[in-house]
Copies of this chain bind each other. A is one copy, B any other.
């Protein structure tokens, strides 16, 4: 259910075609809510049908038309309404911690490998998220610049601060995961030394 709000939020920056939306999704909201093209296109259609998005069709030199999506007032209202309602937290489902809890069924090498993979995984994300923070700070994010166009200075700061805040949380999480996996590797070292 969050996908539609992620899309609405993205489209408030500027009207876009489905293609643009799915490209930019990945470089902005997608860091916090992933969705593949195959989900984005149908969802845009559905939102159009429900009156949350308006479409402006533009001729595109012989090869059909481009469909620019833009949130309607109902769309903006839906986004705001979602913001006012409490979140539903998805129940915990974490394969890495599940595996770790049952490492007695794994070989020592496999256990080490999964922890190293965990570190690598979160280091990759960390890099992404830190780059996002950098882009917010330096104003190099295209989506964010569009979003800020025509807003007051005070709004700029708030909007950027919120993005920064969200990414900071993810960065902190990545650090916690990496620290955890490292402590696990140390624990495993204790067991390999004794056998």
**Contacts of A184 on B, CB cut-off 8 Å?**
165, 169
Which B residues are CB-close (under 8 A) to A31?
Answer: 92
Interface residue A138 (Cβ < 8 Å from any Cβ of B): no
Instruction: Output the least CB separation between A90 and chain B (Å).
Output: 8
Q: Are A168 and B180 in contact (CB under 8 A)?
A: yes
Per-residue 0/1 for A52-64: is the Cβ within 8 Å of any B Cβ (1 yes, 0 no)? 0000000000000
* B121 touching A158, Cβ below 8 Å: no
B97 close to A169 (CB less than 8 A): yes
With A2-B93, A105-B79, A114-B86 given, is the CB distance from A165 to B100 under 8 Å?
Answer: yes
Query: Apart from A12-B105, A83-B110, A169-B176, what 7 extra A-B contacts exist at CB < 8 Å?
Result: A2-B98, A9-B98, A79-B105, A87-B99, A161-B187, A165-B183, A169-B180
